Structure 1
């Protein structure tokens, strides 16, 4: 299985990053995509990924929370980062109108600039959208026919939003949110509607520890070793075997991020 969203540069992993990756491998995770959320973080993610060839890969981007830091040199630096073979997507980028840590006009400008860079570099995009669906899709739609792929990571939206995302051709990333019978109720009902070939799985670690893990971990920190639990939950909700789910999500993730083209 492949964890398409791991925030390994997060300070919560500062003391045991190698152990986290080793536990992931022992749990059956065959590849991880390390999420870049700002320019320094993206550089750190690329460096970490380079140390684990054929297992760890990374993205390079600026999260909407940090869009206020986008300037004339940001695209140049991202372009340079994206030239590394282990950097397989542009992002995490998009819009977040829930917290508005960056002003909305700056979020939109940084998002569009990264979409343009992804088109230029022929890289897929790793996307974030929270409470901004209409504006998010209106900005994204014109670029989709020029992009090799787009995945909306950590999808937690409505049925109508999922339908529009699928119509636009987006891939969908599902996290441990689906393991929460309270907050994840809507998502649990929608997971069967995502076609095989468009679905990927992720932890978004260290965030979103699956609520129904048993026995409960002593720490609230999520990690990729818990991806099998998420996968089993998703498979059960879809009414398919775990092996079938893992077969198609693995194939989808490898093809989307073009992992077989990355040189060791």
Structure 2
């Protein structure tokens, strides 16, 4: 068994066959799925929660993506607060900073991140963080605000070993996606070897970033096993042992029931 700790089941690319996607994941040994809304309007978060409530092994995360941070108004935070009343919502996010695409101004991204950190504290939930080319500023803001007591996850890690060490020092868990299967991912692969066993996670970020040999195709939660295999190889450990550690880490951070 394994857990896909980050995907987007409400994405339009899954709209026609999300039930089949979930079934294929189960057949592949994916015991639990963490589905993240956050992309686009609040409707994406609502659908994410609806999907989670229909499936015992699917859980939801709600938030505003850094790309859409300009839309993170107090009213939007209030809507997220209401959605988080569902027992299937296990975290707030993905929030964070993206200085690569810059779809929202820096000030808006930073304000949104602070609002998400505060909401996670208020609701006693962990936070899921997106960070791209903004590691230094993200560390500064989390140091100022503090990591929520329930902790947090740097999802789809794209930094180097130095960035990983800084995130670990703050108390974050670090999740690796199919990017580690790409040949040009040497710095990320190196970082994957230094994260302690009790802080490492694995994800698909599907429908994006399909691992080899599926690169360029639509990604699915079922493909998380490919990333797990690469992660185990990089860490020179048995994949079965790594699966157990990741399941335990996800259960602890997201307060999940025992996987079955």
Q: TM-score, normalised by structure 1?
A: 0.93
Given that 2:67 and 2:98 are in contact with CA atoms closer than 8 Å, whether structure 1 keeps it comes out as yes
Given that 1:119 and 1:143 are in contact with CA atoms closer than 8 Å, whether structure 2 keeps it comes out as no
Distance in structure 2 (CA, Å) of the matches to 1:147 and 1:101: 30
1:188 matches 2:189: yes
Gaps in structure 1 of 5+ consecutive residues: none
Distance in structure 2 (CA, Å) of the matches to 1:15 and 1:40: 17
Deviation at 1:74, TM superposition (A): 1.3
Distance in structure 1 (CA, Å) of the matches to 2:190 and 2:116: 32
The residue number in structure 2 matching 1:13 is 14
**Partner deviation per Cα, 1:129-154 (whole Å, 9 max, x = no partner):** 11111111111123435421110000
Given that 2:161 and 2:194 are in contact with CA atoms closer than 8 Å, whether structure 1 keeps it comes out as no
The structure-2 alpha-carbon separation of the partners of 1:7 and 1:146, relative to structure 1 and needing over 3 Å to count, comes to closer
The structure-2 alpha-carbon separation of the partners of 1:146 and 1:33, relative to structure 1 and needing over 3 Å to count, comes to closer
Residue from 218, 221, 225 that aligns with 2:218 = 221
**Partner deviation per Cα, 1:64-88 (whole Å, 9 max, x = no partner):** 1001112121121111011110000
The structure-2 alpha-carbon separation of the partners of 1:50 and 1:135, relative to structure 1 and needing over 3 Å to count, comes to same
Distance in structure 2 (CA, Å) of the matches to 1:93 and 1:241: 33
Number of aligned residue pairs: 255
1:89 alignment partner, SS class? strand
Given that 1:154 and 1:204 are in contact with CA atoms closer than 8 Å, whether structure 2 keeps it comes out as yes
The residue number in structure 2 matching 1:40 is 43
Q: TM-score, normalised by structure 2?
A: 0.95
The residue number in structure 2 matching 1:4 is 5
**Partner deviation per Cα, 1:101-138 (whole Å, 9 max, x = no partner):** 01111111111011111111110001001111111111
Residue from 151, 172, 175 that aligns with 1:173 = 175
Distance in structure 2 (CA, Å) of the matches to 1:102 and 1:7: 21
Between 1:252-261 and 1:127-136, the stretch displaced more is 252-261
Q: Aligned ranges for residues 24-173 of structure 1 at < 5 Å?
A: 24-38=25-39, 39-53=42-56, 55-173=57-175
Distance in structure 2 (CA, Å) of the matches to 1:191 and 1:72: 37
Distance in structure 2 (CA, Å) of the matches to 1:244 and 1:88: 25
Given that 1:3 and 1:29 are in contact with CA atoms closer than 8 Å, whether structure 2 keeps it comes out as yes
Deviation at 1:11, TM superposition (A): 1.0
Given that 1:144 and 1:150 are in contact with CA atoms closer than 8 Å, whether structure 2 keeps it comes out as no
Given that 2:7 and 2:33 are in contact with CA atoms closer than 8 Å, whether structure 1 keeps it comes out as yes
Distance in structure 2 (CA, Å) of the matches to 1:33 and 1:23: 15
Distance in structure 1 (CA, Å) of the matches to 2:84 and 2:246: 24
Distance in structure 2 (CA, Å) of the matches to 1:76 and 1:229: 38
**Partner deviation per Cα, 1:169-190 (whole Å, 9 max, x = no partner):** 11001000000012x1111122
